[in-house]
Amino acid sequence: MNFSDKYFVIHYAEVGLKGKNRVFFEKKLARNISLSLQGTDYAEVKRLHDRIVVYVKDNTDIKEIENRLRRVMGIAHFELVYRTEKEITAIKETALQLAEDKAFETLKVETKRTDKTFPLTSPEVSSEVGGYVIQKTGTQADMYNPDLRFWVNISHKDAYIYTDKLRGIGGLPVGVSGKVLVMLSGGIDSPVAAWQMIKRGAKAVFIHFYSYPYTDKASLEKVIELARILSESNYRSEVYLVPFAELQQTIVTETPTPFRVLLYRRMMTRIAQRVAALADAEALVTGESLAQVASQTLTNLRSIEAIAEIPILRPLIGFDKVEIIAKAEEIGTFEISTQPHQDCCSLFVPKHPATHASVSELDKAEAVLDISALVDSTMKGIEKQVVSFSYE
């Protein structure tokens, strides 16, 4: 006999969401949940009054749905709710059904009764249901520190039962905070920077600069793979691939050696800004962390940024390398990032790069270059690829 049907109730955490904002936010979250559940046999994602509900079928793989929901940006927590007949035998059987795939030694049942005409009081329901599950599973009651809590709601129409809430990843639904262009290098840091921005609800578009034929094409493959991993939460992801060799060659022949990396960076920033305008992105994102390498001293960050016309966001600026590595492992990008590749910025780089180049020093070093012509001709070689995530 089937006593109940079940569905997930999704909760989000951001406070201060009102009126139109809330509708926009919930629509995005519901849409993203549907995208994340693609390929599973869930029944429906629905926005109800003040919550989002994921309906499942009788034989839906519940664990798979749980695993996917855990990774959807914007979910604070969620629970699997069993709806059942408003009848104590059905409620007891449903509680037992719910207990079956859980490991616990002690439990507590808490009951809320909206329907005051129900023949049992709330404490009576708790005691009946708890007693039954304890007897069938050989567990014990613990009123203070139970391994597992059961929540029973007796409403006017039905009864509802669920156990402890499952933790979501937090953050905001992707797409509610606008769009950013992430400078993705193939290294460890930039994919983590991208992830942090995606978690705050920014849709990420990616840009990568490569120096083929001076380097091989390994960085391209890595970046595509990294973008694919990130698209688990970013969904459909655009990657702009920029051939940078010719421009670098010009910098190498025309400008003073110690400033090379910084001048590469300035040119990358200029090109990225143009791409950001095309892609409708409002800011650039890098994986820079303060003083991690010579090009990331405060003075050098400032000298690069001096030519920027849109904000450059650096979500990892205050992270230690070990913290970034731990995050990269957690989000699944570390393994790809640590495969060998040659970054375009390590090409033709002097042994002793400038660690404190001023804005005016870089301006002067660049004065010999026809910057807009260089940017224009590089823009012509850009290719765009679109990647998406698949669980298969």
Where do contacts with ligand ATP occur on this chain (CB under 6 A)? 183-185, 187-190, 207-209, 286-288, 292-293, 295-296, 343-345
Residues 262 and 362 sit within 8 Å (Cβ to Cβ): yes
Nearer to Mg ion, 92 or 266 (CB): 266
CB 125 → Mg ion: shortest distance, Å?
A: 60
295 binds, among Mg ion, ligand ATP, none (CB under 5 to 8 A by kind): ligand ATP
188 binds, among ligand ATP, Mg ion, none (CB under 5 to 8 A by kind): ligand ATP
CB burial readout 48-60, b (16+ within 10 A) else e: eeeebbbebeeeb
**Locate tokens 């992707």: which residue?**
174
DSSP-based three-state secondary structure for 200: strand
Q: Which residue is nearest to Mg ion (CB)?
A: 187
CB 388 → ligand ATP: shortest distance, Å?
A: 21
DSSP 279-339: HT--EEE----TTSSGGGSHHHHHHHHTT-SS-EE-TTTT--HHHHHHHHHHHT-HHHHTS
CB 362 → ligand ATP: shortest distance, Å?
A: 16
**Locate tokens 């937090």: which residue?**
170
Is the bond leading into 213 cis (omega within 30 degrees of zero)?
A: yes
Nearer to ligand ATP, 157 or 384 (CB): 384
Nearest to 378, CA basis, from 197, 231, 176, 241: 241
344 binds, among ligand ATP, Mg ion, none (CB under 5 to 8 A by kind): ligand ATP
Taking the C-alpha atoms of residue 371 and residue 355, their distance in angstroms, rounded to an integer, is: 23
CB 313 → ligand ATP: shortest distance, Å?
A: 10
13 binds, among ligand ATP, Mg ion, none (CB under 5 to 8 A by kind): none
184 binds, among Mg ion, ligand ATP, none (CB under 5 to 8 A by kind): ligand ATP
CB 312 → ligand ATP: shortest distance, Å?
A: 10
208 binds, among ligand ATP, Mg ion, none (CB under 5 to 8 A by kind): ligand ATP
Cα 245 to Cα 39, 150, 294, 377: the distances in Å are 41, 62, 22, 12
Bridge-based pairing state of the strands 106-113 and 148-154: parallel
36 binds, among ligand ATP, Mg ion, none (CB under 5 to 8 A by kind): none
Taking the C-alpha atoms of residue 320 and residue 52, their distance in angstroms, rounded to an integer, is: 37
Nearer to ligand ATP, 183 or 357 (CB): 183
CB 372 → ligand ATP: shortest distance, Å?
A: 21
Q: Which residue is nearest to ligand ATP (CB)?
A: 187
Nearest to 297, CA basis, from 261, 337, 255: 261
Residues 365 and 263 sit within 8 Å (Cβ to Cβ): yes
Nearer to Mg ion, 10 or 223 (CB): 223
CB 280 → Mg ion: shortest distance, Å?
A: 26
Nearer to Mg ion, 64 or 343 (CB): 343
Nearer to Mg ion, 161 or 226 (CB): 226
CB 197 → ligand ATP: shortest distance, Å?
A: 11
Nearer to Mg ion, 121 or 338 (CB): 338
In terms of Cβ atoms closer than 10 Å to its own Cβ (0-12, 13-18, 19+), residue 20 is exposed
Residues lying near Mg ion in the complex (CB under 5 A): 185, 187, 343
How many other CB atoms are there within 10 angstroms of residue 311's CB atom?
Answer: 12
Nearer to ligand ATP, 176 or 192 (CB): 192
190 binds, among Mg ion, ligand ATP, none (CB under 5 to 8 A by kind): ligand ATP
Cα 18 to Cα 15, 47, 50: the distances in Å are 9, 16, 11
Residues 45 and 56 sit within 8 Å (Cβ to Cβ): no
Nearest to 73, CA basis, from 203, 191, 181: 203
183 binds, among Mg ion, ligand ATP, none (CB under 5 to 8 A by kind): ligand ATP
Nearer to ligand ATP, 75 or 357 (CB): 357
